[in-house]
Structure 1
Amino acid sequence: MYELRDKDFIFIFTGPNGAGRKTVAQMSGETLGMKQVISYTTRAPRSAEFNGQDYHFVSRDVFTEAERNNEFIEVIEIDGNRYGVKERDVAQMIEKHGAIYLVLNRFGAEALKKLYGNKAVRIFIYADLKTIVKREEDRGDTPELIQRYTSHYDEEMAYKDQCEHIFENLDLAHTVFDLTKTLDDNYLHRNLVDKD
């Protein structure tokens, strides 16, 4: 396993599906100059997802081969689809960039926390269920899809109090501002300037 330096941090964005954790993570990452480590999955891309940007979408055979070679830090299965993060990807990105981020569910967040200890910082992004359902309807998701995305809401929310930082994402700009300030003040010390 890669030995983390003092300035190395792994920020893990977690929380229920539809709360905007991916958008918040990407905007915060851009503001703070952090790179994302992309997970692998056997599921098909959703309408607005792209290979190599949202996930590495791979066949079950390719995934199983990588799993057999112990390439993944953790592997989980949700709704019949497999997900995993490659240890090599984390090591290479952190060695190159010092601070990285991932967008993971509670199982992935927990696995990285166990592996990297206080260098893994979990950021819980959430919104109430009604807000999430409205966002997914506005995005054009079918009622069946929304039901599937929100079926794990309570389980994901139960993980909230175990995370180092918690942000309710009702207003994206405010959430990103508060979050980047928190990460900069507590971990990165890049002295971001407020341009308001």
Structure 2
Amino acid sequence: MYALKDKEMIFVFTGPHGAGRKTVAEMSGSTLGMKQVISYTTRPPKATEEDGQDYHFISPAQFAQAQAGGEFIEVSTVNDHLYGIKSSDIEFMFQQSGSIYLILNRFGAETLKKLYSDRVVQIFIYAQRDTLEERMKGSGDSEEIASKYLSDYENELAYRDHCDHIFENVDLAHTVFDLTKTLDQYLNRNLVDLD
């Protein structure tokens, strides 16, 4: 496992599927100059997803081989698909940037918090259930997939009490603005507030 150096921070974005955590994380990360550690998954990519940008899409056999080799520091199963984070990717991204971010479900967020303790800042991004339903339909999720994700909505929402910061993503620009100001307190980049 990678040992964090002084001032290195890990920001973990979590929350229910469809809440926009990926978009919020990418926009905030870009503004603050942070690099993303991308997870590996055995699920097939959606039409809008790109290998190496959204996830590293690998076969179950490749995943099993990496897992047997101890490459993953965290593995979870969602809707019968495996997801994992490689320790070597965390180390590599820290070489590129003083702080990194990941987009994870609550189980992954919890694992990283246990591993790295107070160096992990958990950010919970959520939206109301009906908003998520609309977003999932708009992104091409099938009715079956959407209802699978929504069936876990209350459990996902309950995890927010374990997080350091909570943002309801109603208006993307406002969410990113507020979040960036919050994260800047950890990074001391002294962003200029042009309000």
TM-score, length basis structure 2: 0.96
1:57 and 1:117 map into 2 onto residues whose CA distance is 29
Residue 188 in structure 1 maps to residue 177 in structure 2: no
Aligned counterparts, 1:3-82, within 5 A = 3-82=3-82
1:14 and 1:132 map into 2 onto residues whose CA distance is 14
Count how many residue pairs are aligned between Structure 1 and Structure 2.
195
2:141 and 2:42 map into 1 onto residues whose CA distance is 20
Query: The residue matched to 1:122 in structure 2 has which SS?
Result: strand
> Structure 2 regions of 5+ residues with no counterpart?
none
Partner deviation per Cα, 1:53-101 (whole Å, 9 max, x = no partner): 0100000000000000000011111221101000111112113311000
The one-letter amino acid of 2:187's match is L
2:152 and 2:194 map into 1 onto residues whose CA distance is 39
2:22 and 2:96 map into 1 onto residues whose CA distance is 22
Aligned counterparts, 1:1-196, within 5 A = 1-185=1-185, 187-196=186-195
Partner deviation per Cα, 1:6-49 (whole Å, 9 max, x = no partner): 22000000000000000000000011011100000000011211
Deviation at 1:149, TM superposition (A): 2.5
Query: The residue matched to 1:84 in structure 2 has which SS?
Result: strand
8 Å CA contact 2:38, 2:55 repeated in 1: yes
The one-letter amino acid of 1:43's match is R
The one-letter amino acid of 1:106's match is R
8 Å CA contact 2:32, 2:180 repeated in 1: yes
Identity of aligned residues (%): 61
Partner deviation per Cα, 1:108-139 (whole Å, 9 max, x = no partner): 00010000110011000000101111112233
Query: The residue matched to 1:159 in structure 2 has which SS?
Result: helix
1:67 and 1:127 map into 2 onto residues whose CA distance is 34
Q: Runs of 4+ in structure 1 displaced over 4 angstroms?
A: none
1:54 and 1:76 map into 2 onto residues whose CA distance is 17
Deviation at 1:141, TM superposition (A): 2.9
The one-letter amino acid of 1:181's match is K
Query: The residue matched to 1:125 in structure 2 has which SS?
Result: strand
2:28 and 2:125 map into 1 onto residues whose CA distance is 12
